[in-house]
Structure 1
Amino acid sequence: MKKLIIIALCNIPFLAFAQKPVFAEAKLKSVTLYEQSAELYSNTTFKIPKGSSEVVITNIAQNIDESTIKIGSKSKVSVLTYRFTTDESIYKVELDKRNPQHKIVMDSISLVEKKLKDLDFQRAALSNSIGILDKNQTINAGSTSYSKELEKLIDYYQKKRTDLSIQLDQAETSYTLFTQKLDKLRSRFDLNNQELEKYPKGKLILQVSSDSSEDVNLDIKYSIRDAFWKPYYDVLIPDINSKAQLLYKAMVRQNSGLDWKNVELHLVSGYPNVKKTIPSLSEWSLFYQEPLIASAQGIKINQAENYNSGRTSSVAEVNIAEVAVLGSNVSRNQLNVAYDLKDLYTILSNNQDNSINLDRTEIPATYTYYSVPKVDRTVYLIAELDNLDKYNLINAEANVIFENTNVGKTTLNAENTDTKLLLTLGDDKRISAKREMIKDKTMEKSISSSNKEQQFAYQFTIRNNKSEKVKLRIKDRIPVSQDKQIIITLVNKGGASYNEETGELIWEITLNANETKKMEFSFKVNSLKNRVVLGL
């Protein structure tokens, strides 16, 4: 007896340390989304006993960067070790019981299995009872009441045998129905296991230690790779009498294996700073560059340079190194723009695009009709958005929507020094523009024994078939000489503004409803008689 007591006492410490794992589910609170990655912040609470415990935390994304895992708590608990796994077999049974969808099915499976077990017992009992009844059918023939006893036996046997047979048939039918139900429940359970979006594979397994039994509140941060966002704009123009509405939007997508449900979303237009080493300063030296010596093989460095500086690099190599050092000092993080969204968002882990509105800005716009009849007789409606440098725009693609119709795409370039943006809203068939050569003003003549003069004249015919007045910009140009022996002179600019360097002519005209206007321009070309002028 003493030996048994001693053995039992010796087992007490072992039982104390062999505690069951503690299971907890992480609740995703917020996501900081960069252009090609994201940082997830989750929180979880659980109760641990005194001493060392293993804690299994579920609802963790499966495609994570393990080197970025950070675990913190204000509770008086020490996290001794932790590891990340996507192994589905680890604590599968325990986790299935904790999964709400799985638990419902598993509880149903348990109830059906118990019912089948009871029916199996019932079927066996009924079968045995019928067997016993069938064997006990003999009556003492010498009895004086033989006929009465036989009558009673037949009556009893018929009733009892019939009743037992009905019960057995009912039990068999119920057994078949519950077997079919069990098969369906097991199929449903297997199907639930395949729904990865609703049942993330990621788990954190922690070894923690505590001086007492207490409730623990744990913060968990980690980064994932399968998530990104990109900015884009919608430029909405209701009509030519309205301001342009600039809608700044974000296209968000993620495939981390964890659904983001009702989370705070923070968007950063850049990349996270992942450097983990302290930067160091490289040597910065100044020296004279010696004169270059030309040779038959090309340009070489003066030998004195190699002697004075102790270098064997070429000038080109020195310049490249200098550029690299200067470039490394530019931090992209200094240019990042962050957006903290007010609402909570749900982004499913299905790699599908989700559009989010970030901001809306009204920008004054000027609407002008535009045509280059020399190239294309079509008249286009143009919207001019000016002073864009006031609106803190970023580089992004923009959809142009005019009168509720998507008319095309453009790109907003925040780094462009030009603060004006021209948007093509489509063509208008009700305005026509025609360019024709004026034959009686186009001629060629000799002005000396070695020189000739050619004159070219053109006319525009512009017709407004609309019921309202329009502003129209017409562009053309005259050639520009690349040879001093070819002299080009603008004879008639027809009221256009003229750029002498480029030869560009621009007419800004106003056409009333159903009005037609004509403009003309002409120029002369003086050149050598014995030379052919190309480009005319």
Structure 2
Amino acid sequence: MKKIIIIALCNFSVIILGQKPVFAEANLKSVTLYEQSAELYSNTSFRVSKGSSEVVITNIAQNIDESTIKIGSKSKVSILTYRFTTDENFYKVELDKKNPQHKIVLDSISLMEKKLKDLDFRKTALSNSINILDKNQTINSGSTSYSKELEKLIDYYQKKRTELSVELDQAETSYSVVSEKLDKLRTKFDLNNQELEKYPKGKLVLQISSDDSAEVTLDIKYSIREALWKPYYDVVIPDINSKTQLLYKAMVRQNSGLDWKNVELHLVSGYPNVRKQIPSLSPWSLFYQEPVVTHTPGMQADKVENYYASAVQEKSVADVALVGSSISRNQLNVAYDLKDFYTILSNNQDNSINLDRTEIPATYTYYSIPRVDRTVYLIAELDNLDKYNLINAEANVIFENTNVGKTTLNAENTENKLLLTLGDDKRISVKREMIKDKTMEKSISSSNKEQQFAYQFTIRNNKSEKIKLRIKDRIPVSQDKQIIITLINKGGATYNEETGELTWDVILNANETKKMEFSFKVNSLKNRVVLGL
């Protein structure tokens, strides 16, 4: 009785071990793409027999975070174990036959090999036939009809050998052609799909237990690291008579080892909440430190430096952004659910996706700060930016179908205004000169002196149309009660007393020249040097 039980158990083990693995291919359905990672959602279906089955699921990305793998099923089966592998030799032959890209080449190789074998047989048969023909050329010379038989033999030999030689030559030519095709196919296959579509190396190996033969459907979710997206903008201005077109876009790239074909794409700002912890509060201690003696530059030098920085800042470019449709927000992230299906290949190359478009009215003005730079810039001014949802992003500025530069959007811009620099115009000239006969210094008391400064702008419009030009300058602002600064002539400018800034908005007709001037005076102590003038 014991022997019977042992035999039965052995037979059962042989059945389990002898079962062939079940192969299935995962179908990638959707991707949730974060700024530097992604979550992939796939499903697959296959049939298993009663008992325990090994299931090999292909079409899995190779660069994945194994700790994030989640497998679920509503089928009445038990997933005993699962593991991830990128081993290329794992069931290589079986998977090559099931790989639709490999199968095309393998079938062609098998067909060429059969043709080559048939041609080899034919070449051998033709060659042997020619040898037999060459060895059987004699006839009985004593025959009374010797000459007639000889003539027949020669005719037959010539005709038959010619036929066989032609057929042999054709067979050898065909053999060479087929052999060359076979070599190319083998090379094509050995190059691991370099001339075919890239096939992923990732595989999931599952051990599944089922009480009956059943159709199984699995949902598979995992995360990958080598994927990212970032928002950016194209600010398109066709000409100075058109509205500004604001194009909100996403730059997407991935190198997961799996091509994303016709998938739902969800873009999420921020990062997945993985391995994050709240910060701890460190101790805060107070202590004495020995004083350090430092050199403090003069007040007026500081103001000149601040002026220059402010002037340069006025010339810098900012930008705005507009988010797309189908937006959902939670307390941590903003998600964009795209309506179309997308294909993103695993080649680590940028793919641009259009998210939204809007038009913003713009005012176009020529702009110059001749104290810093005599160049005249064309500026597009956009107002009422609080009507649009803004995010921090890089932007390309495109004017008259030419990319004139890049800028960065500052979503925290509190001025509700945006200045875009579109380029400089050499046909408008601005010159700033000191008026010498109005620039002087004189004593007004035993302890005080007065210095007066005067400057003139000469502006010329060499264009064939009217323009609006904004010019900025400023006079110094005193931070010392003993230094008194007074604006004498603002020359028609708008004056900001707190900052000392002067602004002229000038209309210039075609080929017109205008001149403006401004002046100010500084009252200070005689025995002190005022820096920055």
The answer for the alignment partner of 1:188 in structure 2 is 188
After superposing the two structures, state which structure 1 stretch, 106-115 or 82-91, moved more. Answer: 106-115
Q: Which residue of 1 aligns with 2:300?
A: none
CA displacement 1:208-233 (0-9 Å, x = unmatched): 12222222222211111111111111
Decide whether the 8 Å contact of 1:34 with 1:268 is kept in 2. Answer: yes
CA distance in 1, matches of 2:112, 2:182: 6
- Structure 1 pair 204/196, CA: closer, same or farther in 2 (3 Å)? farther
Counterparts in 2 of 1:33-48, with a 5 A limit?
33-48=33-48
Q: Which amino acid aligns with 1:421?
A: L
Deviation of the 1:357 alpha carbon: 0.6
Alignment of 1:455-466 (within 5 A): 455-466=452-463
Q: Amino acid of the residue matched to residue 358 of structure 2? A: T
Provide structure 1 residue ranges, at least 5 long, that are not aligned to the other structure: 299-331
Task: Compare 189-198 and 355-364 and name the one that shifted more.
Answer: 189-198
- Structure 1 position 169, deviation (Å): 6.3
Q: Secondary structure at the match of 1:198?
A: coil
1:528 matches 2:521: no
Percent identity between the two aligned chains: 82
Counterparts in 2 of 1:439 and 1:347: CA distance versus 1, 3 Å: same
Alpha-carbon distance in structure 1 between the residues aligned to 2:262 and 2:241? 40
The Cα shift of 1:521 comes to: 1.5
Report the Cα distance in structure 2 between the residues aligned to 1:136 and 1:428, rounded to whole angstroms.
99
SS in 2 for 1:351: coil
Residue 512 (structure 1) shift: 3.9
Deviates more, 1:517-526 or 1:186-195: 186-195
Q: Secondary structure at the match of 1:248?
A: strand
Query: Structure 1 residues 154 and 178, CA, compared in 2 at 3 Å: closer, same or farther?
Result: farther
Contact 1:139–1:150 (CA<8 Å) still a contact in 2? no
Q: Is this contact kept in 2: 1:254–1:350, CA < 8 A?
A: yes
* Counterpart in the other structure of 1:442: 439
The reply on whether 1:370 has 2:378 as its aligned counterpart is no
Closer, same or farther in 2 for the Cα pair 1:335/1:381, shift >3 Å?
farther
Aligned amino acid, residue 200 of structure 1: P
Question: 1: CA distance between counterparts of 2:8 and 2:144?
Answer: 70
Task: Tell me which of 391, 396, 408 is aligned to 1:394.
Answer: 391
Q: Is the alpha carbon distance of 1:213 and 1:522 closer, same or farther for their aligned partners in structure 2, counting shifts above 3 Å?
A: same
Q: 1: distance between equivalents of 2:89 and 2:247? A: 48
Residues 280 and 408 of structure 1: CA distance in aligned 2, closer, same or farther (over 3 Å): closer
Q: Offset of 1:296 from its aligned partner?
A: 7.5
Given residue 380 of structure 2, which amino acid in structure 1 is its aligned partner? A
1:187-226 equivalence runs, <5 A: 187-194=187-194, 198-226=198-226
2:13 and 2:84 map into 1 onto residues whose CA distance is 30
Contact 1:102 1:192 in 2 (8 A): no
Indicate conservation of the 8 Å contact 2:188/2:195, yes or no. Answer: no
1:216/1:135 Cα in 2 relative to 1: closer, same or farther (>3 Å)?
A: same
In structure 2, relative to structure 1, the CA distance for the partners of 1:338 and 1:389 (3 Å cut) is same
Question: Is the contact made by 1:133 and 1:157 (CA closer than 8 Å) also made in structure 2?
Answer: no
CA contact 1:273–1:333 (8 Å) conserved in 2? no
Kindly tell me: are residues 76 and 241 of structure 1, through their superposed partners in 2, closer, same or farther at Cα, counting changes over 3 Å?
Answer: same
Give the distance between the partners of 2:155 and 2:486, measured in 1 at CA: 129
**Counterparts in 2 of 1:97 and 1:490: CA distance versus 1, 3 Å:** same
**Could you say what secondary structure the match of 1:212 adopts?**
coil
User: Who is 2:62 aligned against?
Assistant: 62
Inter-CA distance 8–534: structure 2 relative to 1 (3 Å threshold): closer
1:352 to 339, 349, 352: 349
Q: CA deviation at 1:96?
A: 1.1
AA matched with 1:500: E
Q: Deviations over 1:451-483 (max 9, x none)?
A: 221211122233334444433222111122344
CA 1:110–1:153: 2 relative to 1, 3 Å: farther
The answer for the alignment partner of 1:323 in structure 2 is none
Structure 2 unaligned spans of 5+ = 293-328
Measure the CA separation in 2 of the matches of 1:366 and 1:519.
24
TM-score normalised to structure 2 length? 0.80
Of the three residues 488, 496, 499, the one matched with 2:496 is: 499
1:488 aligns with 2:506: no
* Deviates further, 151-160 or 34-43: 151-160
- The answer as to 2:474 corresponding to 1:477 is yes
Determine the C-alpha separation between the residues in 2 that align with 1:338 and 1:360. Answer: 18
- Aligned equivalents of 2:19 and 2:118: distance in 1? 35
**Match of residue 429, structure 1, among 422, 426, 430:** 426
Question: In structure 1, what residue type is equivalent to 2:406?
Answer: K
Distance 1:490 1:182 in 2: 91
What amino acid does structure 2 have at the position aligned with 1:480? V
2-side partners of 1:102 and 1:294: how far apart?
A: 75
Check conservation: 2:63, 2:257, Cα contact below 8 A: yes
In the TM superposition, what is the alpha-carbon distance from 1:183 to its structure 2 partner? 2.5
SS in 2 for 1:334: coil
Distance 1:18 1:483, change over 3 A: same
Structure 1 residues 135 and 402: CA distance shift in structure 2, 3 A: closer
* Distance (whole Å) between structure 1 residues aligned to residue 111 and residue 147 of structure 2: 46
Which residue of 1 is the match for residue 98 of structure 2? 98
Q: Which secondary structure does the structure 2 equivalent of 1:114 belong to?
A: helix
Deviations, residues 38-61 of structure 1 (Å, cap 9, x unaligned)? 111112222222221111111111
The residue correspondences of 1:32-431 to structure 2 (distance < 5 A) are 32-121=32-121, 162=160, 166=165, 175-194=175-194, 198-275=198-275, 334-431=331-428
Query: Given that residues 490 and 523 in structure 1 are in contact (C-alpha distance below 8 angstroms), is that contact kept between their aligned partners in structure 2?
Result: yes
Tell me how far apart the structure 2 counterparts of residues 74 and 99 of structure 1 sit (CA, whole Å): 27
SS of 1:47's equivalent in the other structure is: strand
CA contact (8 A) 2:140 2:146 kept: no
Measured after TM superposition, the shift of residue 295 of structure 1 is: 8.8
TM normalised by structure 1 equals 0.80
Q: Say if 1:386 and 1:421, in contact at 8 Å, map to a contact too.
A: yes
Bigger radius of gyration: 1
Contact 1:382 1:424 (8 Å CA) reproduced? yes
Q: Deviations over 1:293-312 (max 9, x none)?
A: 869799xxxxxxxxxxxxxx
Deviation at 1:132, TM superposition (A): 7.7
Q: Within 2, Cα distance between the matches of 1:512 and 1:28?
A: 63
The separation in 1 between residues aligned to 2:168 and 2:426, in whole angstroms, is: 88
Give the distance between the partners of 1:116 and 1:500, measured in 2 at CA.
95
Letter in 2 for 1:217: T
User: Partners of 1:7 and 1:294 in 2: how far apart?
Assistant: 88
Alpha-carbon contact 2:101-2:197 (below 8 Å) kept: no
Q: Write the distance in 2 (CA, Å) between the matches of 1:100 and 1:274.
A: 36
With 153-162 and 332-341 compared, the bigger mean Cα shift is at 153-162
